Amino acid sequence: MARKSKKSANYLSARTIRRTAKENRRITRQFEQKLNRKHVAPSEYATVMKDPANVLEVEDLKTYFFTDAGTVKAVDGVSFEVPRGKTIGLVGESGCGKSVTSLSIMQLLQRPQGQIVSGAIRLTQDHGQAVDITKMPIHAMEKIRGKDVSMIFQEPMTSLNPVFKIGSQLDEVIGLHNPDMDKDAVKKRTIEMLELVSIANSGAVYDMYPHQLSGGMRQRVMIAIALACSPKVIIADEPTTALDVTIQAQILDILRRLKDQINSSIVLITHDLGVIAEMADEVVVMYAGRIVEKGTVEEIFKHPSHPYTLGLMASKPVVSRHVERLYSIPGNVPNPIEMPDYCYFRDRCDRAFEPCYGEYPPMISLSPTHKVACYCYQQPADKKE
Ligand SMILES: Nc1ncnc2c1ncn2[C@@H]1O[C@H](COP(=O)(O)OP(=O)(O)OP(=O)(O)O)[C@@H](O)[C@H]1O
Ligand SMILES: [Mg+2]
């Protein structure tokens, strides 16, 4: 009996695991060697933005995790743009690759198993120049992380160092990216930043440890750290999930106000469609490591098109609508190690028809800004129902 269950589809023999681990080491060593190079000419990772109005362009990004059980294609060909001064909302089911996309942009993937295998992440620099983060070695990335692109994480307690005072953690970031500033100027800027994020007793908070602050205050400190060097792009990965709704509203308000003050852009990741509707200019919907739909916030909310987006909208509670129970999309996401070669949503889709049994659908334009990866929207001539 035990023997039989061992032979189930998910069973991996010790030999297979050893072989996969060896192969993974060979692959990841090559990526690591490239990342760890010390003397790399900036021209090697210099690039130009496709559209100068964008601050960030992610093109066909593929980020894989080389695990002993197999390769997890966490992000598999993601492309989106972040225009200057705009907020992009990134939504999708848990595990669809939102955090891995943002960690790839920050070069903060769990290495060596997590690696960007291909694609481009173009980030604008001063004087019309740009860099491709996928080609940058670690030491070059350290110079722009926190300065040009920064991230606010979901749980501030795990991002703040518990053994250092708030002030010194903020001082460190400001000092690191502004080597010309003396100690007093750095402290002055830290206090200013704490005031900007609406911390009233900034002088006292400067000398406090993270555990002495409430969740909302810690998240304000995280925002202060992320915005201290006026980054061009702020990635906020579920910044308010751990907070109650009134604090959430305050935090989002601060984020929006500061974004406008320093004229930067936000990539906002959240499960809360209400927050997206309020904050975002454009929305990108991800499903199982790919983008299934993108468009302006009006297009996505007024004309959601992909069956997954439609399901997502239907699962949203609405005060005036009486329902017996909230809608949930039936079925599960496919196993990330063995992704099918057809539409990843097909097996959960009630609109699946013949073409869906072919290869993964291409991105189809519904308007210049609205795009959807679904055969339902192909030209009528191609559509066989
Ligand atoms: N260190 C890792 N090793 C192996 N697989 C990983 C690792 N980190 C993430 N993954 C896989 O990558 C995929 C995407 O994960 P990710 O954290 O980006 O999801 P997410 O969209 O942010 O989900 P959530 O909404 O729950 O935060 C998942 O299938 C996850 O299992
Ligand atoms: Mg996440």
d(CA 60, CA 62): 6
Kindly report the protein residue whose alpha carbon is nearest to atom 13 of ligand 1: 74
Mean pLDDT of 100-114: 95
Closest ligand to residue 101's CA: 1
Mean pLDDT of 172-187: 91
Kindly report the protein residue whose alpha carbon is nearest to atom 10 of ligand 1: 74
Which DSSP state fits 145? B
Please give the distance, rounded to the nearest whole angstrom, from the Cα atom of residue 20 to the centre of ligand 2: 27
Please report the pLDDT score of residue 342 as a whole number.
92
237 lines ligand 1 (CB under 6 A): no
DSSP tally for the chain: helices H, then strands E: 13, 13
Please give the distance, rounded to the nearest whole angstrom, from the Cα atom of residue 237 to the centre of ligand 2: 7
Q: What is the DSSP string of 51-93?
A: STTEEEEEEEEEEEEEETTEEEEEEEEEEEEEETT-EEEEEES
Beta bridge partners of 81: 57
Give the β-pairing of 364-365 and 371-372: antiparallel
Please give the distance, rounded to the nearest whole angstrom, from the Cα atom of residue 108 to the centre of ligand 2: 13
114 lines ligand 1 (CB under 6 A): yes
Is 7's pLDDT higher than 70?
no
d(CA 59, CA 332): 27
CA pseudo-torsion sign 118, 177, 161, 193: negative
Please give the distance, rounded to the nearest whole angstrom, from the Cα atom of residue 97 to the centre of ligand 2: 7
Is 179's pLDDT higher than 50?
yes
The pTM of the full predicted model, rounded to 2 decimals, is: 0.90
d(CA 169, CA 247): 23
Query: Exposed, middle or buried by CB within 10 Å (0-12, 13-18, 19+), for 327?
Result: middle
* Half-sphere exposure at residue 22, Cβ-oriented, CA atoms within 13 angstroms: 6
* Per-residue pLDDT tens digits for 116-167: 999 999 999 988 899 999 999 999 999 999 889 999 987 777 788 999 999 9
Please give the distance, rounded to the nearest whole angstrom, from the Cα atom of residue 65 to the centre of ligand 1: 9
99 lines ligand 1 (CB under 6 A): yes
* Per-residue pLDDT tens digits for 297-313: 999 999 999 999 998 88
Element (H, E) at 253: helix 245-262
97 lines ligand 1 (CB under 6 A): yes
